[in-house]
């Protein structure tokens, strides 16, 4: 592949690394390969959605911030939201679990209980996995599911609207609070500890004719950037369309932060963002922006009120 022996994964970043390791060609059994929230593969005559996410201690959670049960809920939620973002519903999960030998057994049992309880929200079950030793806790969840119509990231078209369903910015506010050694406002800390993705909204959006959709895990600007890039469009968000709740405003004031920063760049809430024809937006979704044409490769793909956002654009691995 022509990889320089001196180049590190931090040098190329998450998506540069993925581009290096993903096969250039896949078999006809792969209906949707890498590049979306989930893959879609043919198993016999049935198309099956598959996705995997990994949570690493001290990178994605801290044991002194989040109880084991809630780590389990978070680990499952991140994956269930990926299936929902394709317009599907999860049917089964497998779990890979690594931990140091001195980890209390109760912690591992509570983690498993959290995963099972979150999966039960969509009628899914844990059907297997693996356990091994490691220097820190690592939780890897793989989910499989089904859909009537898969919604990809590459279908957004100029003239459509961008709509959002689910809580956004709350987990980021909770992380900001915990990072400063506090535990209140409790409502945002709880939002960080246990997300509430709108699982039913994915199939709803697919039925309504969504043209593109994504799970907002790394921040709205960053994730809509994936939609814009895959679709070859631009997206402009309307800051006035976001309802910023009082707890977010309180945390922003206490931390000298623009509350929109939590909404636009914060991750871990796992709402769904989708593009629709203006008349197709289903109930419960909020229109927050519009899709435009991309005029050049240098064009900023996602803007806010017609201009580039000057704050952080969202989470990036290895940065």
Annotated binding site: 37, 52-53, 60, 82, 129-130, 153, 215, 217-218, 268
Three-state DSSP at 200 gives coil
Residue showing tokens 């949707």: 32
Report the binding-site residues for Mg(2+). 37, 52-53, 82, 130, 215, 218
How far are the Cα atoms of 57, 132, 299 from residue 64, in angstroms, in the given order? 11, 22, 43
Report the binding-site residues for substrate. 60, 268
Residues 229/151, Cβ–Cβ less than 8 Å: no
Cα torsion angle, 265, 205, 275, 223, sign: positive
Report the binding-site residues for ATP. 129-130, 153, 217
User: What is the CA angle 252-256-259, rounded to 5?
Assistant: 30
Residues 64/189, Cβ–Cβ less than 8 Å: no
- Return the structure tokens found at 177: 């609070």
* Phi, psi angle pair for 94, to nearest 5°: -120, 150
CB-CB neighbours of 82 under 10 Å: 29
- Return the structure tokens found at 206: 């697919």
Q: Would you put residue 181 in left (φ > 0), alpha (ψ -120 to 50) or beta?
A: left
């Amino acid at each position: 592949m022509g990889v320089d022996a001196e180049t590190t994964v931090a040098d190329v970043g998450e998506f540069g690394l993925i581009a290096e390791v993903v096969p250039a060609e896949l078999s006809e059994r792969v209906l949707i390969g890498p590049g979306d929230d989930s893959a879609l593969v043919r198993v016999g005559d049935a198309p099956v959605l598959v996705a995997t996410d990994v949570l690493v201690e001290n990178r994605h959670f801290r044991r002194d911030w989040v109880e084991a049960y809630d780590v389990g809920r978070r680990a499952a939620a991140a994956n269930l939201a990926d299936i929902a973002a394709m317009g599907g519903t999860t049917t089964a999960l497998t779990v890979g679990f690594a931990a140091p030998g001195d980890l209390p057994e109760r912690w591992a049992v509570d983690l498993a209980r959290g995963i099972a309880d979150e999966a039960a929200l969509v009628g899914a079950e844990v059907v297997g996995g693996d356990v091994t030793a490691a220097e820190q806790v690592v939780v890897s969840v793989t989910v499989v599911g089904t859909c009537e119509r898969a919604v990809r990231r590459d279908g957004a078209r100029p003239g459509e609207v961008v709509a959002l369903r689910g809580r956004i910015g709350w987990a980021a506010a909770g992380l900001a609070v915990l990072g400063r050694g506090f535990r209140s406002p409790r409502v945002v800390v709880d939002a960080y500890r246990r997300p509430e993705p709108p699982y039913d909204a994915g199939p709803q959006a697919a039925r309504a004719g969504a043209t593109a959709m994504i799970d907002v895990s790394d921040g709205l600007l960053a994730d809509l950037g994936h939609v814009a890039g895959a679709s070859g469009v631009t997206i402009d968000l309307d800051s006035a369309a976001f309802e910023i709740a009082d707890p977010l405003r309180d945390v922003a004031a206490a931390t000298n932060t623009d509350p929109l920063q939590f909404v636009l760049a914060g991750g871990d809430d796992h709402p769904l963002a989708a593009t629709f024809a203006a008349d197709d937006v289903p109930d419960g979704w909020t229109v927050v922006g519009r899709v435009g044409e991309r005029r050049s490769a240098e064009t900023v793909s996602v803007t806010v009120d017609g201009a580039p956002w000057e704050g952080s654009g969202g989470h990036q691995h290895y940065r």
